[in-house]
Amino acid sequence: MKLYNTATRQREEFVPNDPNLVKMYTCGPTVYHYAHIGNLRSYIMEDILEKALRYSGYNVKRVMNITDVGHLASDADTGEDKMLKGAKRENKSVMEIAKFYTDAFFEDCRKLNIKRPDVVEPATNCIADYIHIIETLIEKGYAYAAGGNIYFDVSKLKQYYIFNDHDEEDLAVGVREGVEEDANKRNKNDFVLWFTKSKFEDQALKWDSPWGVGYPGWHIECSGISMKHLGEDLDIHCGGIDNAFPHHTNEIAQSESYLGHKWCNYWVHIHHLNTNSGKMSKSKGEFLTVSLLEEKGYDPLVYRLFCLQSHYRKNLVFSWENLDNAVITYNKLIAKIAALKPDDADEIDTAAFDELKVKFLDALGNDLNTALAITAVYDVLKYKTNDKTKLTVIGDFDRVLGLDLIAKADVKRREVAAAAPAAQSGDYAIIRESGDADAAVIAEIEEAIKQRAAAKKAKDYATADKIRADLAEKGVILEDIPKGTKYRIEI
């Protein structure tokens, strides 16, 4: 497998330190708010990377942190603690906020078919590990105390800006923010390892340390958690491109200074999701979450497909129109797979299977070319072999793609079968796809769906939309199909 390595700015053949186990680390979410779909693009692509490695025959151990302390509003150690900010906003404790948004994050991941990493570690679980690293850095002369805080001294390094010419825009922001304040720093890019003096008297989470009561800086947690679970040598570190500087640069600085040797071999960065007005952020424009997509009637897996259609190292532009195109692509693909009719008597054509698999692996091995991997699914559909083999191959590919292709095609097949008599009699088909409720509740739901169909027929779209929204509020999600509506009950 070839991967683009941000550290060398080259596409390289991936060779793990230990051929039997790939050690992979992912920067996790700061759990002070919902993740927006731009953040989730990174997690989708990292999930694909992990699954592609497993599919290629590697064992993988993947670790992810949950930032529940220490991430200030700016990546350059300034501004308010994001967790504290979230707690104030919602009038809850920091731990309540952390729990709530950690759960919300994994719920989004579940809907997007993102596998949970093997180890998920909240930053607050490993304070002793950070203290140990910081003590060593002080002993080795890489860190100093000033104004009550402990700083990493970047002037002690032979090389600091590992990623600097990769994303000049991010670097410029980091430097600008770094220059703004903090007279304690000896060099403008020095960063805080441990805070005892912060601007916030009411910092909620504090721990005792050799330097006084305080809390860790943001960057140290990823080094600490990675080394705790994956040891001194890491194969792949991934994250969003906005983490490349200063976060990953600082992770490298402190980890390699602590270890005295190279730490991580491959740095994989996922590029931004943009809107037409620029980079997506929580503060700008519409706050796009998985829940919002669902409210608007989109299957979260359509967003996953939308991400897979483009390369992870290109900025991807989100618009509702682009997402609608992905809906069309997804539905067509499912319909094509649903049209396959497996015959139990058929044998699996292993020669075809192997040939098709090679194409799929080539696409993934080409710096994770997911668009080409999707094309490989169409190649299966066109291939001259029996349907049973085609379905088996597609199901196999979907272990990586995670688009529920086989399950959705099964539903589609049943739908088509159920809708056929309805179409003949001119009736309107109402199909419950999943979920359950009392018979009375079901009858009520289906009556509302009939009323909505009538409103639509009368071109009274306001009423139709209101019925749809009212049902959505009750956890009933509608999807229109030819000559009917299907629905799922989610609560």
- Site for Zn ion, rule CB under 5 A: 27, 222
Q: Is the Cβ of residue 63 or residue 293 nearer to Zn ion in the bound state?
A: 63
Reduced to 3 states (helix: H, G, I; strand: E, B; else coil), residue 142 is coil
CB of 27 to Zn ion, least distance (A): 3
Q: 264-270 and 273-275 as β-strands: parallel, antiparallel, unpaired?
A: unpaired
483 φ, ψ (degrees, to nearest 5): 60, 35
Q: What is the dihedral of CA 166, 172, 178, 179, to 10 degrees?
A: 140
Q: Is the Cβ of residue 131 or residue 222 nearer to Zn ion in the bound state?
A: 222
CB of 222 to Zn ion, least distance (A): 3
Q: Is the Cβ of residue 222 or residue 400 nearer to Zn ion in the bound state?
A: 222
Q: Is the Cβ of residue 27 or residue 87 nearer to Zn ion in the bound state?
A: 27
Q: In sequence order, which residues have a C-beta less than 8 Å from that of residue 415 and are 6 or more positions away?
A: 429, 431, 481, 486
State how far the alpha carbon of 364 is from the alpha carbons of 212, 228, 400, 402, 466, in Å: 49, 30, 9, 14, 44
CB of 218 to Zn ion, least distance (A): 8
Q: Is the Cβ of residue 174 or residue 300 nearer to Zn ion in the bound state?
A: 174
CB of 117 to Zn ion, least distance (A): 13
| Alpha-carbon gap, residue 298 to 303, rounded angstroms | 8
Angle at 131 between CA 126 and CA 132, to 5 degrees: 100
Q: Give the number of residues written for the chain.
A: 491
| Alpha-carbon gap, residue 454 to 448, rounded angstroms | 10
| Alpha-carbon gap, residue 457 to 125, rounded angstroms | 58
Q: Is the Cβ of residue 27 or residue 35 nearer to Zn ion in the bound state?
A: 27
State how far the alpha carbon of 240 is from the alpha carbons of 35, 92, 126, in Å: 13, 29, 23
Q: Is the Cβ of residue 29 or residue 300 nearer to Zn ion in the bound state?
A: 29
Counts of helices then strands in the chain (DSSP H, E): 16, 17
CB of 232 to Zn ion, least distance (A): 17
436 φ, ψ (degrees, to nearest 5): -145, 160
Q: Is the Cβ of residue 124 or residue 385 nearer to Zn ion in the bound state?
A: 124
What's the one-letter identity of residue 250?
Answer: N
